[in-house]
Amino acid sequence: MDYVGNLFRPPSEGRSMIIQATVGCSHNQCTFCGAYKSKKFYIKDMAVIKKDIDEASQYRGHFDKVFLADGDVLIMPTNTVIEILSYIKKKCPWTERIGVYANTKAILRKTPEELKELKAAGLLIIYQGIESGNKDVLRHIKKGAFPHKMLEASQKIIASGMELSQTVLLGLGGTELSEAHAIDTGKLLSEMSPHYASALTVMLLPYTELGKEAAAGTFKLPDKFGMLKELRLMIENMNMKRDCFFTSNHASNYLPIRAHFPKEKKDVLELIDAVIAKGDENILRPEYMRAL
């Protein structure tokens, strides 16, 4: 496989075949993210992409899902993405689902018709990292999009018939904006009502802008139980319009949770309350086991 640099994929794509169609992220300005800082964004040559798909076709029985990397495949011209999807279907016809990361800008550049064409070609799930529903937090981390545009993008994805998976980051507002970050993020997720939602926890990297702010003392993360309180407040404000499978079981999280909202929302809130009330760090994932 012609993999350039480190590859990143959603936890749910852990057993997927990864085909790297683009290198890096077209935005690549988020202050918390160090995933693509060493890469300059570019679209790979189609011959290289097809060669990787040819190689993947030799592993029938080892995968039934494909994830197209890197961080922003949907920024590619629609016809180009469809050509890739069609070739995957031709060479790996047993593939049941193809997914991509997509930022708000890339989604909004696609017409409703283009998104439906992508779905028909085999693109069945899009992972949109919104990180926060709070304008001040989004401005601070240089996300490049605000809640109303994120909501518009999410509505276009759902209207196309594709599944939508959202990712948010606990701790991203620091101690100063923790409450506002949690409430606004929960409310935005409610409006979006994605099929899947995941809450990860910020892990500061020393070479990122946010990591440098923390080292300088201008940004401070909530402590472990502060993160749980933030998670609780976010979930309290999540009133989903459809069944949503919610997780916070990523390696970065202190308390693993898997639940269907709104059905199991009350149970999850009671669980978090019980853990906070005990105040016992031994219940939580230890620092040495946390990872990106």
The CATH number of the domain holding residue 243 is 3.20.20.70
In this structure, is residue 48 part of a structural domain?
Answer: yes
In this structure, is residue 59 part of a structural domain?
Answer: yes
Q: How far is CA 266 from CA 26, 107, 175, 228, in A?
A: 39, 33, 26, 15
In this structure, is residue 292 part of a structural domain?
Answer: no
Tokens matching residue 44: 């790979």
- Tell me, what's the pLDDT at 206? 93
- Tell me, what's the pLDDT at 290? 86
Q: Residue 114 CA to chain centroid, in angstroms?
A: 22
Q: What pTM was computed for the model?
A: 0.94
Tokens matching residue 218: 């201008």
**Lowest-confidence range among 25-39, 69-83, 94-108, 145-159?**
25-39
In this structure, is residue 2 part of a structural domain?
Answer: no
Condensed to tens digits (0 to 9), the pLDDT of residues 175-185 reads 999 999 999 99
Q: Check: CB of residue 64 under 8 Å from CB of residue 2.
A: no
Tokens matching residue 172: 């991203």
Give the residue numbers spanning the domain of 233: 11-285
CA-CA distance, 66 to 255, in Å (whole number)?
29
DSSP three-state, residue 125: strand
Asked if the model's pLDDT at residue 188 lies above 90, the reply is yes
In this structure, is residue 198 part of a structural domain?
Answer: yes
The backbone torsions φ and ψ at residue 146, rounded to the nearest 5 degrees and listed phi first, read -115, 165
In this structure, is residue 1 part of a structural domain?
Answer: no
Condensed to tens digits (0 to 9), the pLDDT of residues 31-73 reads 999 888 888 999 999 999 999 999 999 999 999 999 999 988 9
Total number of domains constituting the chain: 1
Condensed to tens digits (0 to 9), the pLDDT of residues 119-163 reads 999 999 999 999 999 999 999 999 999 999 999 999 999 999 999
In this structure, is residue 36 part of a structural domain?
Answer: yes
Tokens matching residue 135: 């304008």
In this structure, is residue 4 part of a structural domain?
Answer: no
